[in-house]
Chains A and B, each alone.
Chain A
Amino acid sequence: MSQSHIIPLTEGLPGQTIRIHHLTLEGTMRRRLLDLGFVPGSDVTVLQRSPLGDPVAFRVIHTTIALRKEESSQIYGELIGSEKNETTT
């Protein structure tokens, strides 16, 4: 995986899928995000932005989770695709 394609989740657009590469968070917040499924190797789909742009809803391991910018900006991954028609699970 080349470093140049690694972006923070905050740069993902609705419909895009990002494979998590690493997290720069530490401590309890890091633990919490790992527990929610934001682990390296996991695919995260950007669902929608709230009217004010924060928080943003993500789909990870079949669950929708909303993250604030301060968290999503510290999760990095590689853009692996863009789904036009999201399948519901």
Chain B
Amino acid sequence: MKPLPSTHTHPRSLKQHKKSDDATFRIALAGNPNTGKSTLFNALTGLRQHTGNWPGKTVIHAEGTYSYNGNSYTVIDLPGTYSLFSNSADEEVARDCIIYEKPDVTVVVLDATAMERNMNLALQVLEMADRVVLCINLIDEAKKKGIHINEKRLSKQLGVPVVKTSARNREGLSHLQKVIKEMAYGKINTNPYRIRYSDELEEKISAIEETVLSTFGDRLPSRWVALRLLDGDQSLIDSLQHRIELRRKEVGAHGTDEPLYPVEA
């Protein structure tokens, strides 16, 4: 396995939260249906979440744990979706996990033989979170089909680490675990690719983003929330309102004057 490109590895900038040596981390597995998330989940945790050759098996998210180099990792196996734009209950589950729960690392599992299709969801996740690893799975299938993936170039263009795996054959797992660990400890600086829209749109996005920031602080991915509000995502609006309500009740009960923000339902 090759090391990550140096642009993303700045061992000196141990930013934000300094984690203790035996910290516990939360890792979410997101991705299109049938990309091997549950297979990867099972390989990492030793559990037996349902897998199979038809899409839509993981409906409610499953959790399991593994240890690596003295740390404990809780892995969340999310249902497979083509998008996180709240078209269905599955998409809402995956979306809520990524934006409200904010896993220490979100791993997007991609099918190496269908990169074009898988990129839609990957790009969405890159707009929602900063600590993202792209795991290109089914690499054995890709090899058989003569597909070669240049993970260094992908990593450079998308601004996050890219790891190739074959979950069913347990290939690339220890490298993936190493990258997850480094990212969880803040040792990998990412620069997730974010689409820039027209000047007119960008102006609107900035204006909404300011309001989002003043309401929620940095607890939510403000640019992404602004984009979704601009798109009129009713499901997200409902879920934000619900969380603000919960928070309001909590504040009312305890009499603090902290700013309002969505809490986990």
Which residues from chain A sit less than 8 Å from chain B, CB to CB? 27-28, 31-32, 35-37, 61-63
Q: Report whether A35 and B116 are in contact in the complex, using a CB–CB cutoff of 8 Å.
A: no
Q: Report whether B87 and A62 are in contact in the complex, using a CB–CB cutoff of 8 Å.
A: no
- Residues of chain B with a CB closer than 8 A to A36's CB: 82
Write the B66-106 contact mask toward A (1 if CB under 8 angstroms, else 0). 00000000000000001101010000000000000000000
A to B CB contacts below 8 Å, 22 in the list: A27-B232, A28-B87, A31-B83, A31-B87, A31-B231, A32-B83, A32-B85, A32-B87, A35-B82, A35-B83, A35-B85, A35-B120, A36-B82, A37-B117, A37-B120, A61-B114, A61-B117, A62-B114, A62-B116, A62-B117, A63-B114, A63-B117
Bound-state CA distance A61–B113 (Å) is 11
Interface secondary structure of B, over-half rule? loop
Chain A: minimal CB distance from B8 (Å)? 28
Q: Take A28-B87, A31-B87, A32-B87 as given contacts and tell me if A61 and B82 are in contact as well, using a CB distance cutoff of 8 Å.
A: no
- Residues of chain B with a CB closer than 8 A to A28's CB: 87
Chain B: minimal CB distance from A61 (Å)? 4
By the criterion of a CB under 8 Å from any partner CB, how many residues of chain B are at the interface?
11
Q: Report whether B87 and A35 are in contact in the complex, using a CB–CB cutoff of 8 Å.
A: yes
Write the B224-245 contact mask toward A (1 if CB under 8 angstroms, else 0). 0000000110000000000000
- Residues of chain B with a CB closer than 8 A to A27's CB: 232
Bound-state CA distance A61–B120 (Å) is 12
* B 105-152 contacts with A by CB, 8 A: 113-114, 116-117, 120
Bound-state CA distance A27–B86 (Å) is 12
Chain A residue with the shortest CB-CB distance to B91? A35
Bound-state CA distance A27–B232 (Å) is 9
- Residues of chain A with a CB closer than 8 A to B83's CB: 31-32, 35
Bound-state CA distance A74–B120 (Å) is 22
Chain A residue with the shortest CB-CB distance to B232? A27
- Residues of chain B with a CB closer than 8 A to A35's CB: 82-83, 85, 87, 120
Chain B residue with the shortest CB-CB distance to A35? B83
Chain A: minimal CB distance from B138 (Å)? 13
Q: Report whether A61 and B116 are in contact in the complex, using a CB–CB cutoff of 8 Å.
A: yes
- Residues of chain A with a CB closer than 8 A to B116's CB: 61-62
The 7 closest A-B pairs by CB, nearest first: A35-B83, A61-B117, A32-B87, A35-B82, A31-B85, A61-B116, A62-B114
Bound-state CA distance A37–B232 (Å) is 21
Bound-state CA distance A27–B120 (Å) is 18
* B 146-176 contacts with A by CB, 8 A: none
- Residues of chain A with a CB closer than 8 A to B113's CB: 62
Chain B residue with the shortest CB-CB distance to A62? B114
Chain A: minimal CB distance from B55 (Å)? 9
Bound-state CA distance A19–B232 (Å) is 28
- Residues of chain B with a CB closer than 8 A to A37's CB: 117, 120
Bound-state CA distance A63–B83 (Å) is 15
Chain B: minimal CB distance from A85 (Å)? 19
Chain A: minimal CB distance from B123 (Å)? 11
- Residues of chain B with a CB closer than 8 A to A63's CB: 114, 117
Bound-state CA distance A73–B116 (Å) is 25
Chain B: minimal CB distance from A57 (Å)? 15
